[in-house]
Structure 1
Amino acid sequence: MAVGFHITATILMLAFAIVYASDPSPLQDFCVAVPDADASVFVNGKICKDPKLVKPEDFFFPGLNNPRSTSNPLGSNVTLLNVDQIPGLNTLGISLARLDFAPYGLNPPHTHPRATEILVVLEGTLLVGFVTSNPPMNMKNRLFTKVLNPGDVFVFPEGLIHFQFNNGQTNAVAFAGLSSQNPGVITIAKAVFGSDPPISPDVLTKVFQTDKNVIKYLQSQFWWDNNFP
């Protein structure tokens, strides 16, 4: 009897954990976000605008068909449209990104802590991949990778490190949908070597099993950001 109770309680806790592991579900037709600067309280998400003041522009963003500049050391540009760019996305649990790549441009290894990503290539070719988390079932951080051509689709599970690299000699363009109004992004190299304040070189020297001067050199570099609104 006691064992059955504990099993039932465990299943219920897991169910509740799954429910709360995604963006909150809307309780009305829409909840257009009030800009943070105008908000008087902090909430997990955005405060709703008075529905009587909502206008079509709250659900609109123009010009995503226009190419973005890739003239940076990464050779890529990620134009993310989340709740900050489209207030009408508030509570809807979805966002969109356009990804532009110069030849051999890279969207470096990164994670989205709050979203699964589904990507479709429109132009060019992309080498993409993600790495599983710390070894489940002896998978040893397995890499899942694929070369994508126009029309191909690939999924990056929530929270896992992934990347996209233009391995061709022409520009590449892709679009991605993400399962959060605010998916967040953690670029691995930038977070590790460009944090503010810096992580102790003693810590990173031990992690990477390398000379401390190498760590200090990496921390002295400017880590480029390719994510733009």
Structure 2
Amino acid sequence: MIDIHCHILHGVDDGAKDLAESVAMARIAYEDGVRDIIVTPHFNHGFLTMADVVHRKLEELERELDRQGVDIRLHPGTEVQLVSAAFFDEHRRNRSFALLGRPGTHLLIEQRWSDYDPGTPEIVQRLLDAGVTPILAHPERHPFFRDDPELLPQLIELGLWTQVSADSLVGNFGPDAQRYGRALIAAGHAHTIATDAHNVNRKPNLGAGMAIYEEMAGAAARTELEARMRSIVAG
């Protein structure tokens, strides 16, 4: 399995606090069946994790995983919050944040927690025009998507992918996120499943999310979903 959203990098955001916790998270993920992880530290006003830091920390963690014999492949990325159009445009122009995987054909974006960014459709379209597929992190956790049933489908119609979190599907973020996350699967609007793991307590649990996806959508749909996630890291 491939986890495309994981805060496993040490000491950069509210994820793994140190290298030891990063390794512990990797061991949990490996035991769960994960073999590839895209590291996705936050990129927002609170945690401005620059691309060069992502690559440096990734290499540090790779060396430690190799030393300890944890057979997990790491890939670069960031979770870019849509703070504002100006914020996004400036940092995209300066190549401040890392795209997902070595091919760099996808970008993980996140809505603000306070409200929906009305500039989202324009940003999505600009990314698509540049050959980059935006993937929206955990839309099931944002009340404005649940309250306006047309909002997310309009973005999907443009070409946006979604990332539904395993924790939402198992109920760890409450019944509203669980219901909407499962509704996205039922509607065919869950394009990827990931963990958004942050530490050994909010831990990697992709297997649980994938099991729910397969139970609801079927084995063939799971195969298609896994191929879609493989394309993010393999191009």
Shared fold (TM-score, shorter chain, > 0.5)? no
Length-normalised TM-score, structure 1: 0.30
Richer in strand (by share):
1
Length-normalised TM-score, structure 2: 0.30
